Each structure stands twice: as structure tokens, then as C-alpha cells.
């Protein structure tokens, strides 16, 4: 928790497109122990939501409500996903949002995972001219399958797809 505070404490974040904006800033609080180790809150939510943003004993960033939903393997993954959201929304010619069962209709053939976001419940996929963000954290944490969301950023050129980063990262 001390290492988290030293690196991330006080970082003000832009609103996330899901999770009612996510935590406003990163600031650890309320450590809790269980058989797996210590958990702590990642930061205060922007709005009243039925879960907390947590860091697990193994360092995953996620939400905890009725159950644990690890969104990203690390806090860095969450921050990368926020940056990618901002970048994709600025450069996409079209943004499409699908909810619930409509998410099942997305064909990710020919798409590659965006490894920088270190996605677990939430993943990003890069295609020939689009980026797809799949959000299933609330569906998992609240046991609400219809809460799955996909956001498709289409009409992207090379800059929009990669932001100047080569394939080696």
C-alpha cells in the first residue's frame, strides 16, 4: 500500500467511460486482510456506485461488490486503458456502443489484444481500422450479464490505432 501511495497517490484521473467515471484520483484507503493477503481501496469513486475500486493482494485493479471483478492485471493497465479511451475517442470517425446480449455479435476475428491495458474483465482489441473495448466488470461483480458493454471506435488510421507506438511497444 505504501508503494502504491508513493507511485500513484494523488494522481487525478480523467473520467472513465464506464463505472460512472471510475475513481477520481488514486489514493489508497481501508486496508482489509483475508486468506489471500491485503486488499485496499484504489481511490474514491466519482459517484455513488454499488462497489469499491480495489487493488488485490496480487496487484490487480478491479471492482468489488457481490464478488471480485479484476478489470486489469495492474493499476498501470487501468491508466493505459484510460489513455487509450481518450486517444481513440479523439481519432475515431465513428463510436458505437453495444450493451448486453448485443456484445455477443461482435466478431473479433482478425483482431489482436491490446496488451498494454493488461485486460482481465475489461479488454481492448485492435483491428485493421478499429479498436474495440469490452467491459464486463460490472456484469461480473454484480452478477448481471446484461451489464456487459462494448465500445467500438472505427474509422481509425494508423495514428488512431497505435498513437505512434510501434509493434514492439
- Are residues 99 and 148 in contact, defined by beta-carbon separation less than 8 angstroms? yes
Q: Please indicate, yes or no, whether residues 87 and 69 belong to a single structural domain of this protein.
A: no
Q: Please indicate, yes or no, whether residues 65 and 90 belong to a single structural domain of this protein.
A: no
pLDDT class of 163 with cuts at 50, 70, 90: low
CA angle 80, 153, 21 (to 5 degrees): 50
Q: Is residue 169 part of a domain?
A: no
Last residue of a domain, one of 48, 73, 98: 73
Query: What is this structure's pTM?
Result: 0.88
| pLDDT tens by residue, 16-57 | 999 999 998 888 877 777 777 788 888 888 999 999 999 999
Last residue of a domain, one of 10, 38, 73: 73
Tally of domains within the chain: 2
pLDDT value of residue 45: 87
Last residue of a domain, one of 38, 73, 108: 73
Question: In the predicted model, is pLDDT for residue 166 greater than 80?
Answer: no
Q: Please indicate, yes or no, whether residues 55 and 96 belong to a single structural domain of this protein.
A: no
Give the residue carrying C-alpha cell 465500445: 151
Q: Where are the beta strands (DSSP E) in 48-144?
A: 52-55, 61-64, 68-72, 94-99, 112-113, 122-126, 130-135
Report the distance separating Cα 30 and Cα 42, nearest Å: 9
Q: Please indicate, yes or no, whether residues 106 and 142 belong to a single structural domain of this protein.
A: yes
Question: In the predicted model, is pLDDT for residue 165 greater than 60?
Answer: no
Question: In the predicted model, is pLDDT for residue 118 greater than 90?
Answer: yes
Q: Please indicate, yes or no, whether residues 35 and 87 belong to a single structural domain of this protein.
A: no
Amino acid at each position: 500500500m505504501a508503494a502504491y501511495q508513493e507511485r500513484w497517490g494523488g494522481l487525478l484521473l480523467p473520467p472513465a467511460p464506464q463505472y460512472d467515471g471510475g475513481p477520481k484520483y488514486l489514493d489508497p484507503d481501508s486496508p482489509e486482510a483475508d486468506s489471500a493477503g491485503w486488499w485496499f481501496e484504489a481511490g474514491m469513486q466519482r459517484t455513488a456506485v454499488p462497489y469499491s475500486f480495489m487493488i488485490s493482494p496480487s496487484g490487480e485493479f478491479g471492482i468489488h461488490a457481490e464478488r471480485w471483478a479484476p478489470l486489469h492485471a495492474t493499476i498501470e493497465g487501468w491508466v493505459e486503458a484510460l489513455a487509450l479511451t481518450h486517444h481513440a475517442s479523439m481519432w475515431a470517425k465513428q463510436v458505437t456502443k453495444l450493451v448486453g446480449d448485443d456484445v455477443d455479435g461482435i466478431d473479433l476475428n482478425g483482431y489482436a489484444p491490446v496488451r498494454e491495458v493488461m485486460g482481465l474483465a475489461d479488454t481492448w482489441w485492435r483491428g485493421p481500422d478499429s479498436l474495440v473495448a469490452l467491459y464486463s466488470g460490472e456484469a461480473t461483480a454484480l452478477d448481471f450479464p446484461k451489464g456487459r458493454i462494448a465500445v467500438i471506435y472505427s474509422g481509425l488510421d494508423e495514428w488512431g490505432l497505435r498513437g505512434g507506438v510501434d509493434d514492439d511497444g
